[in-house]
Amino acid sequence: MIAPGVAGRSLPEAARAFRHRNFRLFWFGQLISLVGTWMQGVAQGWLVLQLTNDPLALGLVAAAQFTPVIVFGLFAGVLADAVSKRAALIVTQFGAMILALILGLLVLTGAVEVWHVLVLAVLLGVVNAVDMPVRQAFVVEMVGREDIANAVALNSAVFNGTRIIGPAIAGLLIATVGLAVCFLFNAASYVAVILGLVLMRSSELQARPASALQRSVRSVIDQLTEGLRYVRDEPAIRLALVVLGIVATVALNFQVLLPLLARDVLGGDAGTFGFLMAAGGIGSLTSSLQIAFGLRPTLRLLLVGAAAIGVAAVGLAVSRWLPLSLALMLVSGWGMIAMAATTNTLIQLSTPDTLRGRVMGVYTTTFAGSVPVGGLFAGSVAAVAGAPMALAVGGVLAIVTVAAASLRLPAPRPTAVTVERSVDREPAVADPSAGRR
């Protein structure tokens, strides 16, 4: 079966961002490192469940990891417009590697306690608050504006392809050799990203003029306000970010709810958890490849993706059969990328170069910053009424959000990157993922 939009699109065209050597180095480094990232995500959730047997603890760890993104993410967007993005990424990757190594050694020695996980989660959140907007804004420097939509789709494909492999491997390793190896593998995997960044050719980077690095609080706030004002004044970006923020908050809390669903509802173990996560990855990879091969992301596709997430969450709430739950996770994964891809590429294509870091800071803060609120919401509901009820409530709220947003779709209008399209067609937007974590 050929996905919509695939026919007539050659593989070289669908992978044209690989023409750029720097992007190839970045992409293949991500291919290795993201396997470790997903392994650590599964292992960390299972570790917290083993240590506490408390759904709320899972939500607290998620909140600890992503609250710094809310606090610092917008300011990191200002930083991303003023510093060397490549140098900043080397620093953030090294920091994340050290944190994964510490957690792995704590688990290996049997010394790990919940407070260790919480502290390391906060520190990783600080690293990610800087890493995420810088990473998103760096893509255009590697491939240029003409290949940005394809590069975003390919980044999303590797993010979600590894989402299939990483959790499946983690589930098997946890069941056979224990948790520590997942954290240690993740620490080692960062070497691939750092090496790729070091080997890049500076002469081939299409760096944009950097804004001045402001040193007064007033100047930083003025720059931050400029990015927020741009988001406010662009109806398509504003609507996309609102839908993304609400749906991600109420219905994408799988790191909190899936360990409980796997163990208490489906009667499984860490392997079951890993396979549920992998199923979501298959759906996300499918969506990413459809976009890479030509499915045109639009605001309507965003709403379809958000609706798919809501329906899948309600289905997971009532399912007691593993094959059905796996299929619903696939649907949810497809919807997540359809939603996130639309938002990401809309921003990448329509935002002026001088504002891209700040606007991507709003995007990453919205997406990743939904995790603390959503994690606490899902953990609290699950602690009182169980994981199925938390899934059902989140799914219904997502569907209501889509219904409301569908009434507020902005009228199509040409932009700098869509002027060649007929004005009576909806502005194009294309894919990807929010960030590594």
Residues 404-429 have a mean pLDDT of 50
Of 49-58, 119-128, 232-241, which one has max mean pLDDT?
Answer: 119-128
**pLDDT: which is higher, 237 or 223:** 237
- pLDDT confidence of residue 31: 92
Residues 317-337 have a mean pLDDT of 93
CA angle 303, 304, 310 (to 5 degrees): 90
427: its two tokens = 């502005």
pLDDT of residue 426 exceeding 50: no
pLDDT band at 77 (very low <50, low <70, confident <90, very high): low
Rounded CA-CA distance 384/377 in Å is: 11
Judge if pTM exceeds 0.75.
Answer: no
CATH topology of domain 15-204+227-406: Growth Hormone; Chain: A; (1.20.1250)
Of 106-120, 195-209, 239-253, which one has max mean pLDDT?
Answer: 106-120
Residues 205-221 have a mean pLDDT of 58
- pLDDT confidence of residue 175: 84
pLDDT of residue 118 exceeding 80: yes
- pLDDT confidence of residue 73: 65
The answer to whether 340 and 21 have CB atoms below 8 angstroms apart is no
Q: What are the distances in angstroms from CA 250 to CA 176, 332, 381? A: 34, 13, 11
Q: Is 53 left (phi over 0), alpha (psi -120 to 50) or beta?
A: left
**Nearest one of 88, 74, 147, 129 to 345, comparing CA atoms:** 147
Rounded CA-CA distance 114/77 in Å is: 31
Arithmetic mean of pLDDT over the chain: 81
- What's the N-to-C CA distance of the chain in angstroms? 31
The answer to whether 312 and 287 have CB atoms below 8 angstroms apart is no
The answer to whether 55 and 260 have CB atoms below 8 angstroms apart is yes
Rounded CA-CA distance 271/203 in Å is: 46
- pLDDT confidence of residue 84: 82
The alpha helices in 177-216, defined as continuous H runs, are: 180-198
**pLDDT: which is higher, 363 or 82:** 363
pLDDT of residue 116 exceeding 90: yes
Percent of the chain beyond pLDDT 70?
82
The answer to whether 193 and 91 have CB atoms below 8 angstroms apart is no
Residue 215, burial from CB neighbour count under 10 angstroms (0-12, 13-18, 19+):
exposed
Extents of the domains making up the chain: 15-204+227-406
**pLDDT: which is higher, 74 or 396:** 396
pLDDT of residue 295 exceeding 60: yes
The answer to whether 382 and 260 have CB atoms below 8 angstroms apart is yes
Phi, psi (degrees; rounded to nearest 5) at 422: -60, 140
The answer to whether 377 and 247 have CB atoms below 8 angstroms apart is no
Q: Is 414 left (phi over 0), alpha (psi -120 to 50) or beta?
A: beta
Residue type, 379: G
Rounded CA-CA distance 29/25 in Å is: 6
Q: How many residues does the chain have?
A: 437
Percent of the chain beyond pLDDT 90?
32
Q: Residue with structure tokens 């990807």?
A: 432
Of 76-85, 274-283, 316-325, 401-410, which one has max mean pLDDT?
Answer: 316-325
pLDDT band at 377 (very low <50, low <70, confident <90, very high): confident
Residue type, 95: G
pLDDT of residue 417 exceeding 50: no
Residues 315-328 have a mean pLDDT of 94
**pLDDT: which is higher, 176 or 254:** 176
- pLDDT confidence of residue 414: 45
